[in-house]
Structure 1
Amino acid sequence: MLKNELRLNFLQLRQNLSESTYQKASRQIAERSLKLPIWELQRFHIFLPIPSKKEIDTSPIRRELRSRGKDIVVPRVSGPGQLKHFLITPDTRFENNKWGIPEPVDGEEVAAQTLDVVFLPLLAFDEDGFRVGYGGGYYDRFLAACREDVITVGLSFFGPAGHITDLHGGDLRMHYAVTPGRTYEF
């Protein structure tokens, strides 16, 4: 399938989730994430969800990271197609950007090369471990700046959708995709 077809289809599927299904599925994804072989690592990058787009609620994962004393890093849009990354603390202040994404107002900027694990937002993924986002390329550029051994974990309400037919050189395969019912390893 083409990325644009997947974007439209899975965005609609996500929007159609009831609030109770959304909350339950987010919790199941967080619980499955705890079984990944990543928890001995220290520096975790995680996205903050856009509530209006029913992105997965990552707060249970963030709470678990905090309880284990892990470094939690979140993105902030810094320009067209560009992200900066900030270590968050209990004192970090957040404001919503123009897309409704909560972003840190201040804090310690962190280089992408220092990250051990990146939790990825996505609309869909395929059987080969390639993700489809909103199409802005923010995460493609960000992941290209990370170390080669960074572990990438996609979080999705839905399982894989066949094969993406319009991949490009900037598309990177995820290591894992976690859904409410299953964890996929690529």
Structure 2
Amino acid sequence: MSSTTLDLGAESQLSDKKAVRKKLHGLLSSLPSDHVQRQSVNATNLLLSLPEYKNARSISIFMSMPSGEINTRHLTKHALSSGKHVFVPYIYKPKEPRQDNLPTSIMDMLQLADEEDYASLLPDKWGIPSIPKETVSDRASSFGGKGVSDGDSPVPDAAGLDVILMPCMAFDQDLNRLGHGKGYYDNFLTRYCSAQTADGQNRKKPFL
């Protein structure tokens, strides 16, 4: 798979991630759409060839923005048509009272029923396909049960998620991920991984 190296200049050495993200946003937004499409095809084909994907029963896939990042549409359709359990992000405000360390908005992973369900998702204000609020309570959650967790970390079903695909703005040479800065995935992974061992079973962690 081909790759693109983005030169961040001196800002890459700064601890101010906000400045780095601002520069990255400009660089990514300027990438030609055909370039993004080629990279999306390459990334998707590579993922489809991995045994971790082939053997996965349950997979979490981020829903991509209209531009500036890998398009996950084909991958999502492939996973659904292959009979995998596909979970996608749902961002919401947990009910009061919130846990002391819980952000104002958090993210859970909820299941798509099938390709028709996926096609019915409507874009949010960022153009990202999103689960309608009125369908949330009927959807299976990666934490087990149905609907949102409201920040609790119930013990997931024994199977759990096999693969979690996360968006990012960049990776450094040590493969450390720079996200969009909202902390949704950091919070989700902390809750999910702690729940995986809450009953002492020490279940396998998902492939990230």
Fold-level similarity (TM above 0.5): yes
* Secondary structure in 1 matching 2:186: helix
Identity %: 28
Higher relative contact order (CA 8 A, sep 6+): 1
Q: Is the 8 A contact 2:87 2:142 kept in 1?
A: no
Matched, 1:40 2:55: yes
Q: Counting strand residues as a fraction of each chain, which structure ranks higher?
A: 1
Q: How does 1:90-109 map to 2 (within 5 A)?
A: 90-92=115-117, 93-105=120-132, 106=135, 107-109=138-140
Match of 2:141 among 107, 110, 124: 110
Gaps of 5+ in 2: 1-12, 94-103, 144-155, 194-203
TM-score (norm 1): 0.73
* Secondary structure in 1 matching 2:90: strand
CA distance in 2, matches of 1:54, 1:33: 19
Gaps of 5+ in 1: 153-186
Q: How does 1:13-162 map to 2 (within 5 A)?
A: 13-38=27-52, 39-51=54-66, 53-79=67-93, 80-88=104-112, 89-92=114-117, 93-105=120-132, 106=135, 107-112=138-143, 113=156, 114-147=160-193, 149-152=205-208
Cα-to-partner distance string for 1:40-94 (whole Å, 9 max, x where unaligned): 121000011111x422110121122123211111011112330122111234232
Q: Is the 8 A contact 2:77 2:115 kept in 1?
A: no
Q: Is the 8 A contact 1:44 1:72 kept in 2?
A: yes
> What is the root-mean-square deviation in Å for CA atoms of aligned residues?
1.9
TM-score (norm 2): 0.66
* Structure 1 moving runs of 4+ over 4 Å: none
CA distance in 2, matches of 1:121, 1:81: 18
What amino acid maps onto 2:207 in structure 1?
Answer: I
Q: Rg bigger for which structure?
A: 2
Alignment match, 2:22: 8
Matched residue pairs, number? 151
Please state how far the C-alpha of 1:126 moved relative to its aligned partner: 1.6
